Chains A and B, each alone.
Chain A
């Protein structure tokens, strides 16, 4: 190399902004040899191939169930009896999708779920922002206790609480106040009870029944107590802790109050993080079947995604009969319908995910969860 530099390069052709220089180089063969036939390169190449194979393998494991979902739901009935058809459908059929969109009225389900998920996710994100900001930037007495409560709400599994949640929202009451003003409070002492039962300011002696409505989910969302909201609060708290105090101080100096600072300075800063939280909240609410099944108990279910695959065999009765005529069994086909539903549930989320995906790492990276 040093020799080459020493030798004066010959200028072959020179234009205004380009110059071609010819100088003696090491022969191409030697250069290639030096570059590619070495332990270092071999190690790099092996690692590269190993890494690629590994990543493709893992990606395969992740994507394979989705592929099965799509391919099975596209198979025509005769493909299920054909033993030679395993992964790739031979006769493509949109029957299941047509049935889902037309018979099951997919778009009704879609818009109902969209409304619910959007409302919940927006409220949850906003609540998590408020609480996270309050916990991160203000030193007040009880800050640590509130933070501990957030973690507690994250740690206690909702399964443990389901009966209590159910009864609480069936007979909703705020510390007995509603009952008291409606004359429903009881102490067990006859004299006091008779006086209490004469109060009729409010009409809910048994508390408000909030079942079969969106209210419990909205209430839980506003308070940041819905599914995994503790995690969102934690993430945003860590993020806000990483925002330098000087920003707020300069805003205060310019005469903004706390809330204006929050609204005009802090929130615009935290958009990637908010998108991340919103993505989580929206998707987890979209596919949630715990709270939805807990709160909607009446016979006529709302058209939410959770119930889409439940009523399937009924809506597809005609399809199934025609299928059973060919194959004398229907289990596979019902399963394929479930898969079709799965695809239709995932599709909107996947599109949303592809749009928001770049914010995901960015959001977490800036969150300062790390440091």
Chain B
């Protein structure tokens, strides 16, 4: 009986019922979406935002713990000005850190793209090389980073060489390399800035290699997603591999260059081996308020840089329309 009534009412008011159902499905899906992201949202609102606020507060206050009671004292911008003007070498470290970053990012990007292109070619032992190249992603982080760095420094020199001697040796080899490159590049008309850059890159090669694991992975994935048909048609049209690289490969992976640039900056500036982070951590041991102030200044600075680079890169990025 009731069923019949229901059926009748449905047929009568078919249109509005249908409309309502669609709306409720949408709402249901939206609710399901919220449920899925709930763990993160809860954590973000209940844990992360209070931590953020506390951290910002630390940079504007001085806290003292007296007999288990925390006394808060508002000092305004004092922590910031202390970090900038009273601390002997924060500004210096910051500038050096930015310089290092400006150096590292292009080096890591170029290197990882190059390696990804090579690892994408068919050859003997490709799987083994891939396995080795991604090893640093997994192994040389956190705890192992410092151990591996000392072992690398030690492995580079003989056992009985003292530190000074090896430093002098390094200088000598760098000078030799630089003069050699200078004589080559001068003839080609490149400036000395480029030569110095390459020499430093060669010296820092271990760091660059160890830091570009994830980037190689991302570039490799990008390269493998390019349709082979495009390369085939290029070959038929008689393009050299050089031309193919610049006309096909480079534009096709350019979105990933943006992603990798941003990832490199973030990764670079959040690792503890970064000189600015080391400075901040060292300050944390003595004065955590100034340390938070430093951290926030550094974060804002890097955020600006990320924004700038993302804006510049995205102007040149080529997106293939796939629909």
Contact = CB atoms under 8 A, between A and B. Distances in A.
A139 interface: yes
A287 B151 contact: no
A64 B41 CA distance: 44
A158 interface: yes
Contacts of B47: 168, 219-220, 223, 225
Given A83-B159, A353-B138, A361-B130, A159 B277 contact: yes
Interface residues on B, range: 35 or more
Interface string B131-155: 1111111110111100111111011
A222 B32 CA distance: 18
Given A138-B36, A155-B266, 11 more contacts: A55-B118, A69-B147, A83-B160, A130-B37, A130-B39, A155-B299, A160-B299, A161-B51, A341-B147, A361-B221, A370-B222
B204 to A, nearest CB: 11
B221 A168 contact: no
B121 interface: yes
Interface of B: 29-37, 39-44, 46-48, 50-52, 54-55, 58, 115, 118-119, 121, 123, 127, 129-139, 141-144, 147-152, 154-155, 158-160, 205-206, 209-210, 217-218, 220-222, 224-225, 255-256, 259, 266, 269-270, 272, 277, 280-281, 284, 288, 291-292, 295-296, 298-299, 302-303, 306, 320, 322
Contacts of A64: 152, 155
Contacts of A115: none
A357 B34 contact: no
A105 interface: no
Interface of A: 48, 51-52, 54-55, 58-59, 61-69, 72, 80, 83, 85-87, 127, 130-131, 133-135, 137-143, 146, 149-150, 153-165, 167-168, 174-175, 219-220, 222-225, 233, 258-259, 262, 279-280, 283-284, 287-290, 305-306, 309, 335, 338-339, 341-342, 345-346, 349-350, 353-354, 357-358, 360-361, 364-365, 367, 369-371
A305 B58 CA distance: 31
19 contacts: A64-B155, A65-B148, A69-B147, A83-B160, A138-B30, A138-B33, A155-B299, A157-B270, A159-B281, A161-B51, A161-B52, A222-B43, A224-B40, A233-B40, A339-B147, A345-B143, A353-B139, A370-B255, A371-B320
B267 to A, nearest CB: 9
Contacts of A139: 29-30, 33
A287 B144 contact: yes
Nearest to B37: A134
Contact of B217 (A155, A290, A364): A364
B32 A346 contact: no
A155 B306 contact: yes
Contacts of B155: 64-65, 67-68, 87
A63 B132 contact: yes
B127 to A, nearest CB: 8
- Determine chain A's interface SS by DSSP, over half rule: helix
A168 B43 contact: no
Contacts of A159: 270, 272, 277, 280-281, 284, 295
A333 to B, nearest CB: 13
